[in-house]
């Protein structure tokens, strides 16, 4: 299959050519086809959420297990009611505070949403993204776009269109290129079907931000460091996601000790003929000796690390690095999401020094 690629930026957004491209993309979705598109978190692989055949195609294109439910993307608040059994007060409050934006809510689904889209669950994940191109596409597609991250299953989520092309080129009808995703990590998922709203996946919208609006909020114990042997409530969180091909280990501790230990390990690996990689920060970048060294930004700037993390993991793959060591990052605010993804990429391998 030939995959059409079209770039939409703020400069050309209002031109007839860009409008026609989004319209074409919408028609592809209405006809049961697949279109990858930018969102503020990561690129999504879109299909018609109300068409079971489209959801099957999404799973096939990604190579994703079909018990892993998809997020339904909407572009207007009034489109929520038809796909859920009821709208609890908690959802109204969160919608007002954070939509459009990087927040996904889990609600009881209505009969309009096929089981293929929800991986057989009686609940549905819903998100209203803020990206302009995403919003226009959802509108053109008829209002309901199922979209997992647009990576091949097991690969880091794409933050650039070129990574979508690498993973899904030839398997889907179209890719809309909107440049680099500005957040870089997937949306926060909050389950509103429980007595106490529960975070199933941390993201840009933090627990503190949710608590300000809702009061008491819990975090699924399975996604906390001490709960790595419990089954998570978001089926997708159980897979070893976001994985680079190389073996990744996090080295945690005081900066001096971390730099010394990583250099020791990298030198040993190189001596044995392996290509080593290091995920550093701006402050430590010049202090490492390895085949490939990348900065994840300023240690104090969690947002920058969030934006760059998946790109860095993919660049290590491109450079065919065998082993990677990463510094550990502050886990407050967005840092919680950063560390959650980094720990998963590392298969929870952490060495404390
Ligand atoms: O930022 C995002 O959320 C991106 C963009 C494209 O919107 N999408 C995304 O989708 O990350 P995906 O499919 O890669 O991750 C969806 C996660 C999975 O872990 C899945 O198991 C969980 O959401 N999920 C979906 N529906 C659910 C449900 N009804 N109950 C519990 N977890 C659910
Ligand atoms: Mg994903």
Q: In the prediction, which pLDDT does 231 show?
A: 82
Residues 255 and 183 in one domain: no
Report pLDDT digits (tens) over 217-248: 999 988 876 676 778 888 877 766 667 889 99
Q: Which of 125, 131, 151, 222 to mutate to test the pocket of ligand 1 (most atoms within 8 A of CB)?
A: 125
Residues 229 and 134 in one domain: yes
Number of domains in the chain: 2
Instruction: Determine if ligand 1 sits within 6 Å of the CB of residue 124.
Output: yes
Q: Which of 202, 230, 188 is closest to 341 using CA atoms?
A: 202
Pair type for strands 103-108 and 292-295 = unpaired
176 and 196 Cβ atoms separated by less than 8 Å: no
Q: Which ligand is nearest to the CA of 185?
A: 1
Residues 80 and 229 in one domain: yes
Q: Which of 99, 148, 150 to mutate to test the pocket of ligand 1 (most atoms within 8 A of CB)?
A: 148
**Bridge partners, residue 45, by sequence:** 36
Domain boundary among 207, 238, 269: 238
Q: In the prediction, which pLDDT does 237 show?
A: 76
- Residues 99 and 89: their CA atoms lie apart, in Å, by 15
Name the residue with the closest Cα to ligand 1, atom 32.
234
Q: Three-state SS string across 165-198, please? A: HHHHCCCCCEEEECCCCCCCCCCEEEECCCCCCE
- Residues 300 and 31: their CA atoms lie apart, in Å, by 46
Residues 156 and 281 in one domain: no
Residues 226 and 254 in one domain: no
Q: In the prediction, which pLDDT does 235 show?
A: 83
Residue 105 alpha carbon to ligand 1 centre in Å: 10
Q: Which ligand is nearest to the CA of 108?
A: 1
Instruction: Determine if ligand 1 sits within 6 Å of the CB of residue 90.
Output: no
Report pLDDT digits (tens) over 300-329: 889 999 999 999 999 999 999 999 999 999
**Hey, what are 277's tokens?**
């990689």
Domain boundary among 238, 272, 301: 238
Q: In the prediction, which pLDDT does 240 show?
A: 60
Instruction: Determine if ligand 1 sits within 6 Å of the CB of residue 69.
Output: yes
Residues 107 and 130 in one domain: yes
Residues 131 and 272 in one domain: no
The structure's pTM equals: 0.96
Residues 232 and 267 in one domain: no
Q: For residue 262, what are the domain limits? A: 247-352
Task: Looking at the CA of residue 186, tell me the nearest atom of ligand 1.
Answer: 1
Q: Which of 121, 187, 149, 146 is closest to 62 using CA atoms?
A: 149
CATH number where 325 lies? 3.40.50.11030
Name the residue with the closest Cα to ligand 1, atom 6.
44
Residues 204 and 69 in one domain: yes
Tally of helices (H runs) and strands (E runs) in the chain: 9, 16
- Burial environment of residue 138 by CB neighbours within 10 A (0 to 12, 13 to 18, 19 or more): buried
Under the banding of pLDDT at 50, 70 and 90, the label for residue 66 is confident
Q: In the prediction, which pLDDT does 221 show?
A: 87
Residues 128 and 189 in one domain: yes
DSSP 60-116: HHHT--TTSPPEEE-SSGGGTGGGBS---HHHHHHHHHH-SSSEEEEEEB-TTS-TT
Q: Which ligand is nearest to the CA of 70?
A: 1
Residues 269 and 306 in one domain: yes
Domain boundary among 238, 270, 290: 238
Longest dimension (CA), the chain: 61
Residues 231 and 266 in one domain: no
Q: In the prediction, which pLDDT does 228 show?
A: 66
Residue 150 alpha carbon to ligand 2 centre in Å: 7
Q: In the prediction, which pLDDT does 236 show?
A: 78
CATH number where 102 lies? 3.90.870.10
- Model confidence at 173: pLDDT above 70: yes
């Amino acid at each position: 299959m030939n995959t059409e690629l079209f770039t939409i930026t703020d400069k050309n957004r209002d031109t007839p050519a860009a409008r026609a491209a989004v319209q074409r993309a919408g028609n592809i979705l209405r006809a049961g086809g697949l279109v990858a598109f930018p969102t503020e978190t990561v690129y999504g692989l879109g299909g018609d959420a109300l068409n079971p055949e489209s959801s099957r195609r999404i799973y096939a294109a990604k190579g994703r297990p079909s018990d892993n439910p998809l997020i339904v993307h909407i572009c207007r608040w009034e489109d929520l009611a038809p796909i859920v059994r009821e709208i609890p007060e908690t959802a109204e409050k969160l919608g007002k505070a954070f939509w459009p934006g990087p927040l996904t809510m889990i609600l009881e689904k209505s009969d309009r949403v096929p089981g293929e889209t929800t991986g057989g669950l009686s609940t549905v994940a819903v998100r209203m993204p803020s990206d302009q191109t995403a919003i226009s596409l959802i509108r053109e597609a008829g209002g309901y776009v199922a979209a997992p991250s647009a990576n091949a299953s097991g690969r880091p989520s794409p933050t650039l269109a070129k990574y979508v092309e690498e993973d899904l080129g030839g398997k889907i009808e179209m890719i809309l290129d909107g440049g680099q995703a500005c957040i870089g990590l997937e949306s926060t998922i909050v389950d509103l079907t429980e007595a106490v709203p529960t975070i199933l996946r941390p993201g840009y919208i933090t627990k503190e931000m949710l608590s300000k609006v809702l009061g008491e909020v819990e975090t699924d114990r399975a996604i906390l460091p001490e709960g790595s042997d419990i089954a998570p409530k978001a089926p997708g969180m159980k897979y070893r996601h976001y994985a680079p091909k190389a073996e990744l280990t996090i080295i945690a501790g005081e900066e001096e000790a971390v730099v010394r230990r990583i250099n020791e390990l990298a030198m040993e690996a190189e001596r044995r003929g392996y290509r080593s990689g290091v995920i550093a920060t701006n402050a430590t970048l010049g202090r490492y000796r390895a085949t490939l060294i990348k900065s994840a930004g300023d240690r104090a700037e969690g947002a920058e690390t969030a934006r760059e993390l998946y790109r860095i993991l993919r660049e290590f793959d491109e450079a065919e690095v065998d082993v990677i060591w990463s510094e550990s990052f502050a886990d407050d605010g967005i840092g919680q999401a950063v560390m959650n993804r980094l720990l998963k990429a590392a298969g929870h391998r952490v060495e404390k020094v």
